[in-house]
Structures are given as structure tokens and as C-alpha cells.
Structure 1
Amino acid sequence: MTPSATTPPPEGCIDTQVLDHVLLIGINRPAKRNGWTPRMFRELAEAYTRLDDDPALRVGVLHAMGDHFTAGLDLPSFSELMKRGEKAYPLGLVEPNDLGTPGYRRRTKPMVIAVKGICFTVGIELMLAADIVVAADDCRFSQLEVQRGIMATGGATLRMAERAGLGNAMLHLLTADEFDSAEALRLHFVQKVVRAGEELDAALAIAQRIAAQAPLAVVATRLNTLRAVEHGPLAAMAEFIETQQRLARSDDAAEGVRAFVERRPARFIGR
């Protein structure tokens, strides 16, 4: 598909488009290889918050305009924020990197990401904070903060080792090297590699399949899986009975039973 896009201002913007129950979120600063500015990060947090707050929306798809996902942060525009230890978006919004920073919300609904071309620094960290990533086969990845005298603080130091093991994480975090889509797949940073130009359609197909499932069950399943990763299997298991009771009493669970008996696709409403 070809997503709709606005003409971006010099500092870039985030475009959104609704397709049924899916919110398409487009990074729009192609003239600068989608280098991130504070405005873009604020609008991204607003888009993630919209996804969580709108009951008609069930899944987000993050993608990029132009040939590249992102060349990373526009460092001059972030320098003063970094020195002050401030984020580019206000308290109370959903944090796109999903780090659980005090004062910010954590995303509850699924996020699928389509990456292509150059995907540096913050691009990798947004991937690792998402749920499912589809990569074009022409991607070039690099977590190159050490090359700029700073540290990756958007989640790479946490999630790279979790996905790929300590040695693999150190290889890419400490050398600032470039690696390709095949390596990203091997490291479990992405879940699927497709031919360049097909990544958004593939990501959207996954999102639409998720959106067809029972929304309450999707959110509960996602959050329980994250709890197991972040707090351990015992903490996740402790929620099984209460969560299953709550879901079993929902209208969607009743619809699931009816659809099973009547041998038809279920029509879920998110209640």
C-alpha cells in the first residue's frame, strides 16, 4: 500500500492514518533520512497515546516515508535536552520506548513496525520496544551512540542482550558496526525479512490479523507475556486465574463460544 502523507515542516512530523482497527503511524522527514527531532518524538508519543485511548483502534503500525526508516537522532536538536536529562514529550503520554519511566504510561496495545533502508540508533530501540518487526532485505542497522560520545538510553542496553545474548549485544553496542537484515533476524531483533518495498504490506497484514482477534484477550496476552519477561514466570502465572476469569465473563468470550458452535468467524467488539 501507499500510505497518505503530508508535506512535512523542516523539523519533520508524524502522520497518522486509520485503516479499520489499525492506526498507521508514519515517520515523515524523508529529506533528512527521517532524523528525529523533539517535535517528531512528541507527536510519536501522542500517536501511541491515541492508539491506547481509542477503543476503536486495536493495533498500531509504525513505518516511515521515503527510502529509510531513520538515520537516528538529529543530535543538535536533542543536545540541550540530554544535558538537562529531559524527554522530548510531556508527562502523562505513552512512552514510545516503553521503558516504564515514572510519569509516563506504558503501551497496552500491540505495535508492529516496518523498517527499511537505514535504521540507526533510535530506530533499533523503537523496534526492540515494539512487539513484531518486519524488515526489508535492504536494511542497514547500527547502534552507534558510542561513536558520538553518548550511550544508548532508549532500551538497546536492556533489550539487545535479552534478545541476542550478552556477547552479541556487546559486539554491536561497543563497536558501532553496521549489520544487515539477516543478522538482525538471527539476533531476534526482527521477526520477518521481506523484499524491499513489501515491508509495509507485510506488517499491515500481521496487524490486521491481530486486529481480527478478541481485543481484550490480545491486550491481556501481550501484558502477561511482558510480565513474564520483565518479572519472571512466577509473577506472570500469578495473574492467570484472575485474568482468565475476567476474560471469560466478557461479551467477546461469549461471542467466541457462539462462533465456535456456529462454525463461523467471530465478530469481536472489545467488551
Structure 2
Amino acid sequence: MSVEITLLVLLASAFHAGWNAIVKIGGDRIAVMAVLTFFGSLVSLAVLPFVPFPNQDSWPLLALAVVIHTAYHFCLPMAYQYGDYGQVYPIARGSAPLIVTMGGVLLVGEVINFLPLLGVVFLSIGVMTLALDSKDGLSKNPKAILFALGTGVFIASYTLVGGLGARQAGSAIGFAVILTIGNGLATFVIALFWKFKEIKKVVLGNWMFASAGGGMQVGAYWIIIWAMAYAPLGMVSALRETSVLFAAIISTFVLKEGFGVWRFISSGLIAFGIALTRYR
């Protein structure tokens, strides 16, 4: 990957950790997610006239990506309902890169050399072991683990489907913009029937907070989809997981969840993994 793509993916990682923190602390998790994604879809609608429309060949993958993303939008807040930010986030993000790498190899025949592949492994191990530093302990919080792992499966799925769709679309950013419109509106409409009172409360009390999160959410996804059109799926996905480092900072200094020895070890593994993914 070029330096430019690397820096943009790191920026997307910071955005991703930020909007996840908003979902965790902004009130009812599903209601916050619904409002956040709705504002994100409005941002996407605003830029829609200025981006190329994706090729018709990519429409089936676009529709599938909308479905997967919408399911992800409900699984993630459920995980935060049961577990800490510092526990759920690394499990959800850490379970995805190896799945994405295997999918990239099997589905599109991507060839990743030994050192970048080893970097993906170290990065995955690093983000997973961050979960061991949770104050609750993994064995004491099985529902959080189940939903976090389910979220990881959705992350891997939409990463693969979105990456492949963007390559067929002709315009990666056009694909991403329409995708974020679709999943944002779908999430909001479904949640409206389930959490109407909670959504109303978020809109009246925290709409500026949620709108900022929506901007970070779509911005992060646009960057990742664009990067996947020009760099290997597994490498982009692996570097994206550095969002766990930003999450560790938020967990420590904002949510006051602490920073134990496992987080130092995991951070070292992640840094080593990032370095290896840069080798060709």
C-alpha cells in the first residue's frame, strides 16, 4: 500500500473508533445507532449528485451489502448493551481480518506474500488479546462475547462484499455513497418501529452528537471502500483494525476503563503487524 492510502485508512480507523464510542455512551444503543446512521445517510444524500453512479453489474452486491450492514447496525449496539467498550470493540474488530484475508484469497485469487500475511496474523492476535484486559473478564460476559463475535462476522462479510462490489462498480465512492444511504435509511426505519420513544429522546437531546457520529461513520466507510479498490482486501482490513488503538485511548481517558498490561502487549503486536503489512 502507498503512504497516502495508509494514512487515509488510519484516519478512517480513528473515525470508526469515535463513532463506536458515541454509540456506547450516547444513550439507548440501538436508538443512537439508528439516529447516527440516519444522519450519515443524509450526508451521503448531499454528495450523491456529485459522484458517479455504480455500474449495473455491482447492484446485486450493493443490495447484499446493504442487508449485511443493516444487520451489523443492530448486532453491534446489542454487544455494547452487555459489554464494555474496551471489551466488545477489540473482539468485534479482531475477528474480522483473517476472515477477510481468506475470503480475498479464495474469492478473487489475491496473492499476499508471507510477511504481509504474517502481519495480518499478528494484528489479529493483537486486537483479540486486548479483550483479555476487560475489567469484567470474558468468561463472565458470554452475551457480550456472542454479540461481539457475531459483529465480527458481519464486519468480515460486508468488507468482502463491499470490496468486491466496489471493484465491479466502476466508481468505488459512488458504490459507498449509495450503500450508506441504503443501510442508514433501512436501519432507521426498522428501529423506528422498535425504539420510537428512545429515538425521539436521542433526536431531541443528542442530535448534534449523533450527527457528528454519522459524519464519522460514512467518512470512515467511504475511505475504506475507496482503499479496497486500489489495495489488497486483507491488508486494508488489517490496517483498519488499528482503530483498536484509538479505542484503547478512548477507553482509558474518556470512559476510564483502565489500561493494563495486556493492552501494552497487544499494542506492541498491533504495531508489529502494521509494519509487516507494509512489505510487498
Return the structure number with greater relative CO, CA threshold 8 A, min gap 6.
2
Same fold (TM over 0.5): no
More helix by share: 2
TM-score by length of 1: 0.31
More strand by share: 1
User: Of the two, which has the highest radius of gyration?
Assistant: 1
